[in-house]
């Protein structure tokens, strides 16, 4: 056991170094200190000596930090010192806690070994692809696998915006509009970036902070999933197998894609250019479900919300044993509130799962009705407060009008083959686990897992995000896979007791054969930055040249933090749509953000703004630029290819456009306010 734990610590150290170097260690130190205020919550719930206390404490601390650090940011260093002081006090008090509110089963050495195995696999799967995000090749190009440009790259823009702003954050893609996005997860890396830049005077390595933050989020998420499954059995091996197979072998899409590709091409080479976790959407036209590992790579904010919800779910599943239901309910509500702050959809789903689990135990007679009512009622206030904060900060603006309810046509299209390929192994084992538990009269113990899977399926079939219907499939699928190990671990225990370890081995082997190909293909493609082939509307690898990097560095050093830039939008499409906000860390007058909700007004502006590059007379281009409030134009390789006359037109009007930076790959023009002085 000790050897495995030491190996986990060693791999964690290597992973942090690979993802962030010294910046990664600096950020890790900041992360640890920032989450300390959550230690008291975890210790009070589960007891200071239990691993669940530290996992839940770190998760709660990250949620509290999102709100606390944001509210204290006007105080600068004083606010940061105040937060760290609160953390120190919380730690001291947490170490004095003796009796937990929620007693858990005894933690054994075998449980530590099982958890360590989960963390080891998680680190390897997460760190390898993330280490190659922005990898620099021999020519000095930064290379980004296209998988990451829709999320990780835009998260850089979001974090830069939070680090830059003194007031309410603006939309980096529409400078005049507020940012309507749940940005709580990114407050901590933004705070570190803000303070580092204040000390050094240089732009902070935000990409490294985000990588390291994603690593710690992944480890906490998988720990929470393990604990939720373990608390039911409590068999460390069963929880570890359930979580690991859900993480690495949930989908049969890879096996299906490999068989079909070999049949058609007699080669597996085409798999390099396949978004394997979208096979059910591309080939069958259904509503696809992403694997958990994709949530760890691309959407750590959703993973953080699910992890917080799982720790609250542990409370709900042990509700019949709690001391002081009112206090326990408040602390569980804080966890659920933090989940909402991180990501409203999965946070809200996990809140429903929590309520459903408590209600099940009440109806089953597993706990007194007074305790159930007090526990549930006490949890409401923090959840309502968190939702109120989201609303007052404008994070939910427009979301209500973008969601519709009713049977989803995408979800019911080819529903049986889609579900069997996307999450068939999970559904089969969840069904088997529920059946075995019902036969033995202990199904109420699995309430959290069964309610979680049922809630996820209801969301999958009856909720639609109109602008991006596939999004609900991703998020509901994540909730399903987060809660399914609770039932699967129980199924493995019952299977071993009834048929022996050979039966368990056969089930696990069959599941691995069916599900592992998806993760193998996906993990390889996620880290493959050598594939420059053209995919479905974009190159599989996006390259940022040394010349572009030089231009972005100049922009960050020589232009105002709130300067408004513009690049071409149509020609860049879904490939380099976030180039300026992410790498130059400046706002656009208009953009095409594929990760944000857009109104018709914003969409029309994004279409019209490209006219500034297509004019044949500099005065006309200047009038369009001024109408949009553009202060600087960025003319790079894409603009030169799409609008070959634009450089000559802009250069012909020095009274309108003043070149302030130029190299072989990019030119930056300042748009004059009045002839001939450039805007500053």
Model confidence pLDDT, tens digit, residues 275-288: 888 889 888 888 88
Residue with tokens 């560095």: 553
User: What is the pLDDT averaged over residues 453-466?
Assistant: 92
Q: How many residues does the chain have?
A: 680
Local structure of residue 664 (DSSP, 8 states) = S
Return the pLDDT at 400.
Answer: 67
pLDDT of 303 reads 97
Query: In this model, does residue 667 exceed pLDDT 80?
Result: yes
Q: Looking at residue 357, what is its pLDDT?
A: 95
Angle (CA) 542-548-550 rounded to 5° is 140
Q: What is the mean pLDDT of the chain?
A: 91
Mean pLDDT of 33-62: 93
Backbone angles phi, psi at 633, to 5 degrees: -105, 135
Q: How far apart (Å, rounded) are the C-alpha atoms in residues 150 and 537?
A: 13
Quick one: pLDDT at residue 653? 84
Enter the tokens of residue 76. 């600068």
Q: Is the pLDDT of residue 375 over 80?
A: yes
**Is residue 66 within 8 Å of residue 300, measured between CB atoms?**
no
Q: Is the pLDDT of residue 31 over 90?
A: yes
> Residue 86, Cβ neighbours under 10 Å: how many?
16
Phi-psi region of 181 (alpha: psi -120 to 50; beta: other; left: phi over 0): beta
Q: What is the pTM of this model?
A: 0.95
What is the structure's pLDDT at 368? 87
Give dist(CA 336, CA 277) in Å, integer.
Answer: 29
Residue 674: predicted pLDDT: 63
Q: Which residue has the tokens 């206030």?
A: 381
Query: pLDDT (tens digit, 9 = 90+) per residue, 493-516?
Result: 998 988 888 888 999 999 999 999
Q: Quick one: pLDDT at residue 296?
A: 95
Which range has highest mean pLDDT (164-173, 198-207, 320-329)? 198-207
Distance CA 534, CA 265 (A): 19
**Distances, alpha carbon 144 to alpha carbons 153, 157, 507, 526, 636, in Å:** 9, 15, 38, 10, 18
Question: Which of the two residues, 517 and 49, has the higher pLDDT score?
Answer: 517
Residue 4 has pLDDT above 80, yes or no: no
* Nearest residue to 672 (alpha-carbon basis) of 605, 635, 618, 636: 618
The pLDDT assigned to 665 comes to 95
Question: Which pLDDT score is estimated for 677?
Answer: 52
CATH class, 145-183+197-204+544-680 region = alpha beta
| In the chain, where the domains are located | 2-34+101-131+213-527, 145-183+197-204+544-680
Give the pLDDT score at 1: 58
531 has a pLDDT exceeding 70: yes
322 band by pLDDT with thresholds 50, 70 and 90: confident
User: Average of pLDDT values for 650-667?
Assistant: 92
**Within 528-661, where are the H helices?**
546-558, 579, 600-608, 611-614, 618-627, 637-642, 646-651
Percent helix, strand, coil in the chain, to 5, is 70, 5, 25
Provide DSSP, 370-401: HHHHHHHHHHHHHHHHHHHHHHHTTTTTTHHH
Q: How far is CA 612 from CA 145, 150, 299, 339, 655, in A?
A: 30, 26, 35, 43, 16
Cα(165)–Cα(149) distance, integer angstroms: 23
DSSP 3-state of 171: strand
């Amino acid at each position: 056991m000790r050897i495995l734990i030491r190996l986990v610590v060693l791999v964690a150290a290597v992973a942090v170094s690979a993802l962030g170097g010294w910046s990664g260690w600096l950020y890790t130190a900041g992360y640890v200190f920032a989450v300390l205020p959550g230690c008291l919550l975890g210790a009070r719930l589960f007891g200071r000596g239990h691993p669940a206390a530290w996992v839940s404490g770190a998760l709660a601390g990250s949620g509290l930090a999102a709100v606390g650090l944001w509210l204290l940011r006007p105080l600068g260093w004083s606010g940061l010192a105040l937060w760290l002081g609160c953390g120190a006090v919380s730690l001291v008090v947490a170490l004095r806690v003796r009796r937990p509110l929620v007693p858990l089963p005894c933690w054994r050495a075998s449980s530590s070994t099982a958890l360590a195995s989960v963390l080891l696999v998680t680190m390897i799967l997460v760190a390898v692809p993330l280490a190659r995000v922005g990898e620099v090749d021999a020519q000095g190009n930064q290379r980004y696998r296209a998988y990451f440009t829709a999320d990780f790259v835009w998260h850089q823009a979001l974090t830069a915006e939070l680090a830059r702003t003194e007031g309410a954050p603006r939309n980096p893609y529409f400078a005049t509009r507020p940012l309507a996005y749940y940005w709580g997860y990114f407050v901590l890396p933004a705070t570190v970036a803000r303070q580092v830049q204040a000390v050094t005077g240089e732009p902070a390595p935000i990409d490294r902070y985000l990588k390291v933050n994603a690593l710690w989020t992944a480890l906490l998420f998988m720990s929470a999933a393990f604990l939720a499954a373990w608390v039911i059995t409590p068999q460390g091996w069963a929880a570890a197998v359930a979580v690991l197979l859900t993480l690495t072998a949930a989908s049969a899409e890879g096996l299906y894609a490999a068989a079909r590709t070999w049949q058609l091409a007699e080669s597996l080479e085409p798999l390099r250019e396949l978004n394997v976790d979208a096979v059910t959407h591309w080939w069958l036209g259904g509503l696809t479900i992403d694997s958990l590992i994709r949530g760890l790579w691309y959407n750590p904010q959703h993973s953080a919300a699910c992890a917080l919800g799982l720790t609250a779910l542990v409370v709900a599943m042990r509700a019949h044993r709690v001391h002081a239901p009112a206090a326990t309910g408040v602390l569980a509500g804080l966890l659920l509130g933090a989940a909402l702050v991180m990501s409203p959809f999965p946070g809200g789903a996990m809140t429903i799962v929590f309520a459903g689990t408590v209600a099940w135990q009440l109806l089953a007679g597993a706990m007194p009705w007074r305790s159930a009512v007090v526990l549930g009622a006490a949890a409401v206030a923090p959840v309502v407060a968190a939702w109120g904060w989201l609303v007052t900060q404008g994070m939910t603006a427009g979301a209500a009008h973008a969601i519709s309810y009713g049977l989803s046509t995408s979800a019911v299209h080819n529903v049986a083959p889609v579900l069997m390929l996307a999450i068939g192994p999970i559904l089969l084992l969840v069904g088997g686990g529920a059946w075995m538990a019902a036969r033995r009269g202990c199904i109420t113990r699995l309430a959290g897992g069964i309610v979680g899977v049922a809630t996820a399926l209801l969301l999958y079939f009856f909720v639609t995000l109109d602008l991006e219907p596939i999004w609900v499939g991703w998020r509901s699928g994540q909730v399903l896979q987060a809660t399914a190990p609770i039932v699967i671990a129980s199924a493995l225990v019952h299977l071993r007791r009834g048929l022996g370890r050979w039966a368990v081995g056969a089930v696990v082997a069959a599941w691995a054969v069916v599900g592992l190909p998806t993760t193998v293909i996906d993990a390889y493609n996620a880290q493959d930055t050598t594939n420059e082939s053209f995919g479905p509307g974009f190159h599989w690898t996006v390259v940022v040249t040394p010349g572009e990097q030089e231009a972005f560095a100049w922009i960050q050093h020589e232009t105002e933090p709130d300067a408004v830039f513009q690049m071409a939008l149509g020609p860049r499409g879904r490939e380099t749509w976030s180039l300026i906000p992410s790498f130059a860390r400046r706002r656009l007058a208009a953009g095409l953000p594929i990760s944000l909700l857009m109104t018709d007004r914003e969409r029309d502006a994004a279409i019209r703004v490209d006219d500034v590059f297509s004019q044949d007379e500099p005065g006309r281009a200047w009038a369009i630029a001024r109408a949009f409030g553009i202060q600087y134009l960025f003319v790079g390789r894409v603009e030169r290819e799409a609008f070959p006359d634009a450089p000559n037109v802009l250069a012909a009007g020095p009274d309108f456009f003043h070149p302030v930076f130029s190299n072989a790959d990019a030119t930056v023009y300042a748009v004059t306010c009045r002839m001939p002085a450039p805007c500053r």
